[in-house]
Amino acid sequence: MERGSGTARRTVLTGLVLGVPLALSGCGEKGDADSTPASVPASGADTTIMIIRHGEKPGGGERGRDESGQRDKKSLTERGWQRAKALPGLFVAAPGRAAPPLPRPATLFAAADTGPHAGAHRMRQTVAPLAEALHERVNVSIAEGQESALAAAALVAPAPVLICWEHSRIPDVVRALGAGDCGAPKAWPERFDLVWVFTRRAGRWSFRAAAQGLLAGDA
């Protein structure tokens, strides 16, 4: 799957702990009045929900390829596969290395890529190496366009939760969680190297954006 430089990856991972928090904001219990589904309570149990965009996709002359190396426009590019392979470094402790900068996920969600509402494979592919490192399964039962169902499932799942989703729909996920007024951007930036971290404590959400810093060229 991944043939990127281990040395380069170790170099960028070393600097992760130094600059992960980029933004932090707090908010009250209620999200945007028009955006929180009635089925998702504005307050509830404490939880941490992290959201990432899938890895790099085809474009600008770069082609996607599937797990067997065959060209596939719905799959990650070579750089996307490199990001997926490096992703466990954000969450999983390794011998002789500093503690990972983000909490170890207990639940993984990625958009469905099979069935009648299937989207691209990039979301599942992005978190597949992490799932293997965690010895966890990826929940791919929810499709793009079903963000309210995703939020409802994430809020009751064992935490911390990590969601890998299509970037244009991530703001819908945030609103469905009831965290729409916590300072997160209204649209996902044109970047693949971010983690949005939402934490609910005593019914109040807070937000921070963390830089992945996994590959050369990441911010």
Q: Model confidence over 92-148: pLDDT tens digits? A: 988 877 889 999 999 999 999 999 999 999 999 999 999 999 999 999 999 999 999
| Site of tokens 């791919």 | 140
Question: Is residue 12 a contact partner of residue 215, using CB atoms and an 8 Å limit?
Answer: yes
CA–CA gap between residue 165 and residue 192 (Å, rounded): 11
pLDDT of residue 4: 44
Give the pLDDT band of residue 78 (cuts 50, 70, 90): very high
d(CA 69, CA 56): 16
Which amino acid makes up residue 12?
A: V
What phi and psi values does residue 212 have, to the nearest 5 degrees?
A: -70, -50
The model's pLDDT over 45-72, given as tens digits with 9 standing for 90+, comes to 999 999 999 999 999 999 999 999 999 9
Contacts within 8 Å (CB) and 24+ apart, 131-139: 133/88, 133/92, 134/88, 134/91, 134/92, 134/104, 134/105, 134/108, 136/105, 136/106, 136/107, 136/108, 137/108, 138/108, 138/109, 138/110, 139/107, 139/108, 139/109, 139/110
CA 173 – CA 58 distance, rounded (Å): 24
Evaluate if residue 9 carries a pLDDT over 80.
no
Least confident range of 87-101, 178-192, 196-210 = 87-101
Q: Give the DSSP letter string of 133-151.
A: HHT--EE--S-TT-HHHHH
3-state SS assignment for residue 6: helix
CA atoms of 99 and 121, how far apart (whole Å)? 30
